[in-house]
Amino acid sequence: EIFGLALPQALAAGPGDGGVINLSALIVVILATLLLVRGARESALANTVMVIVKIAILVFFVVVAFTAFNAGNFAPLLPMGAAGVTGAASMVFFSYIGFDAASTAGEEAKNPQKDLPRAIMIAMVLVTTIYVLVAVAAIGAREWNWFAESEAALVQIVSEITGQKWMVLAFALASVIAIVSVVLTTLYGQTRILLSMGRDGLIPRFFAKVSPSTRTPVIGTYVTGAVVAIAASLIPLGQLAEATSIGTLFAFSLVGVSVMYLRKTQPDTPRTFRVPLYPVTPILGIAACLFLMFNLAGITWLVFAIWMAVGAAIYLGFGRRNSRLGALDAKAYEAELNL
């Protein structure tokens, strides 16, 4: 818009938002996929640069927004009550999926037993702090109901406060870079999960094939990138975000269930990672995730049910028969019965 240019509506949004295809989303996913194919080291370096840019632009926004801070914008503090807070938390939970992706990097970490827990905890503290600062600065600059009519609220606030087109352009470009880093992290985590599942045989083994030159699961990365690109270019972001949130919440709650189940069924197995305050931690984690899940809309639950049904069908029709770990467990169980 600054240069008098704009994508036509047909290429700016998917069918659900009055367009044909979201070309920007398609290009972002393709670029992230190609970067991941080049290798984990290159992807990590690029992601580090993008994260630095992202943090810098958020700090810049906080500084700009605080110049127009109005404490009166916080009255009432909870305009939609506690239900509004929990409902919003459920919808935006997808933004915390990066911590889940970090846990899938175990094979590429130098000292995963120490590095992964520390990295996840430090990142959670830093990111949550930045989230809160941005939220406080944004509400301080504009009343809460103003955000309902804005699609790019932070960029618009910078534009209205500074009136400088070059600042708006820089902020918009940095925002796109931030989105690329999120897509890159999410795709990375998904391809590594599929890599482990492919090795075991839960899904076709071509997902586990690693390129000798780049040492990355190229086929799995291309397949994942293609599916995500199609979804991102055709389905509205809000629906994708809610579907991602409910899937993430369910997966996190299963982690808590798994910890408790394995402690009971395999108490003597060596533990690589410790769970503090057991069993309080997993119980609270399960309860918090389920509470947020029940705040999501009915259509999100329907999509989640269909997705789970598809996953169960793949497992029962293919994965259960081809799983190496499942075969080992079956042999161990049979040997135990013979004893």
- Spell out, as residue ranges, where the chain has pLDDT lower than 70: 40, 100-101, 105, 108, 329-339
Cis check: omega of the bond before 279, within 30 degrees of 0: yes
Q: What is the pLDDT of residue 331?
A: 63
**Coil, helix or strand for 266?**
coil
Return all residues near 215 (Cβ < 8 A) that are at least 6 apart.
39, 40
Sketch the domain layout of the chain as residue ranges.
1-235, 239-296, 297-339
pLDDT at 322: 87
Q: Are 94 and 296 in contact (CB under 8 A)?
A: no
- Residue 2, pLDDT score: 73
pLDDT for 338? 56
pLDDT at site 66: 92
pLDDT at 95: 76
Q: Please check whether residue 26 is in contact with residue 233, taking contact to mean a CB–CB distance below 8 angstroms.
A: yes
**Model confidence pLDDT, tens digit, residues 58-86:** 898 999 999 999 999 998 888 888 888 88
Helix residue spans in the chain (DSSP H): 9-12, 23-38, 40-66, 81-91, 97-103, 112-141, 153-162, 165-200, 218-234, 237-265, 280-293, 298-314, 320-322, 324-338
Predicted model pTM: 0.77
pLDDT of res. 222? 92
CATH number of 1-235: 1.20.1740.10
Is there a contact between 113 and 272 (Cβ–Cβ < 8 Å)?
Answer: yes
